[in-house]
Amino acid sequence: MSAADDAGRAATTPGEDAPPTVDRAQYGLAAVLAVVGVWTVVDSAGLGPGFADQVVQPAAFGYVIGSALAVLLAVATSRGDRAEGEAGEDVDLGTGTDWRTLAGLAGVLVATVALLDRLGWAIVGALLFAGAATVLGNRHWVRNLLIGAVLSVGSWYGFYVGLGIPIPAGVLDGVL
């Protein structure tokens, strides 16, 4: 065999000339998210008017998010955008799912939902941040709680005072 034969064989290795495969699962996900987007727009139409002094009425948020979901998802799917497993984060694709971490994050989210009305967003938001950070491997409890408290109190004031959207204050009602 000559070097030219080797070069010819190397250029036509199996799989190179094959057309790219179509990931049909993306169409199912796109359809579900498009339905959610359309539902969000339709549901937003039923919202009552907000406060008279609000420049942006409550339905505007639903219109923007719902339209963006439907339109951008349709564009991305029709273009054939497809994530590459190796081009993302530095993850070992040969390992399985870390079920302990996944269960811990699910537990933090369930606890957040269960405690939100009783304790209020300022406390539960801090616990959400600290719990998620700890489950994901950070072992600085005090720092996690302080960062979570700053973020949750800041977001509470941002929604309640800045946007006029009441979110639960819980046990801190009257303090915040």
The alpha carbon torsion through 124, 105, 83, 62 (nearest 10 deg) reads -30
pLDDT band at 12; cut points 50, 70, 90: very low
Question: Quick one: what percent of the chain has pLDDT higher than 70?
Answer: 76
Spatial contact of 150 and 170, defined as CB atoms under 8 Å apart: no
Boundaries of every domain in the chain: 25-79, 99-172
Residue ranges of the alpha helices (H) in 46-158? 58-79, 99-119, 121-135, 141-157
Per the confidence metrics, is the pTM higher than 0.85? no
- What CA–CA distance (Å, rounded) separates 59 from 50? 9
Q: Is 86 helix (H, G, I), strand (E, B) or coil?
A: coil
pLDDT digits over 70-83, tens only?
Answer: 777 777 777 765 65
Q: Is 174 helix (H, G, I), strand (E, B) or coil?
A: coil
| Whether residue 29 has pLDDT greater than 80 | no
